[in-house]
Amino acid sequence: MEDNALPQDIEFHPLEPFLPANAKLLFLGSFPPPRKRWCMDFYYPNFGNDHWRIEGEVWFGDRNCFVDIQNKCFRKDEIVEFLQEKGIAMYDTARAVRRLKGNASDAFLEIVEPTDIRALLRQIPQCKAIATTGEKATGELCRYFGVEKLPTVGCSTELSDGLRLYRLPSSSRAYPLAFEKKCEAYKRVFEEVF
């Protein structure tokens, strides 16, 4: 959404789904933050969000593996190459939203058009797991698959046909969990899926 847009304006997803053919895991967030918070044109673009630091720490033992500290941005090309090599897909549970307060908070995000998750999964037939990175994404995914009870953070549940949902703690620094604990939760999922 542009800085001068009204909060009730409908905002369409600015990114295409990232779906490597070999994807075994699909990360689903809720929706990207406003563009003014981006440091790159890719998923988890807010430099204050720790998603790429968690991935760097878990996979390579280096939280700054994907971080360009000097330029305060993430290394998109290295991230894309890593995701393609590992088989990790990225998208969100909403294709269109209204920001009720004009910010990035899921609490003030109204989903206008949900994502057709099954259409995504048809494009990545090796995918056997979905990881959500927030309560709104988890709730939307559970509604989509008709799952009544959301798994607690750090736990998983079966969605359908052997497809497993892992509910991860949010990588947002606003989420009250230590970085090391978030890494432990992500590592457990990676060990099970890969």
Convert the pLDDT of each residue in 97-113 to its tens digit: 988 876 667 777 888 99
Residue % of the chain over a pLDDT of 90: 78
Q: How many Å from the N-terminal Cα to the C-terminal Cα in the chain?
A: 36
Average pLDDT over residues 10-27: 96
Q: Does residue 40 register a pLDDT over 60? A: yes
Q: Which residue has the higher pLDDT, 85 or 104?
A: 85
For residue 2, what pLDDT is reported? 45
Average pLDDT over residues 148-174: 91
- Res. 160 pLDDT band, cuts 50 70 90: confident
Distances (CA, A) of 143 to 21, 129, 136, 146: 26, 17, 11, 5
Six token digits for residue 83: 């995701």
For residue 3, what pLDDT is reported? 47
Q: CA–CA separation, 24 vs 128, rounded Å?
A: 6
Q: Is it true that domain 10-193 has CATH number 3.30.300.30? A: no
Q: Which residue has the higher pLDDT, 106 or 181?
A: 181
Q: Dihedrals φ, ψ of 66, to 5°?
A: -105, 15
Q: The whole model's pTM is what?
A: 0.91
Taking Cα atoms as reference points, which of 84, 85, 109 lies closest to residue 13? 109
Please state the domain extents for the chain. Answer: 10-193
For residue 103, what pLDDT is reported? 66
Q: Does residue 30 register a pLDDT over 50? A: yes
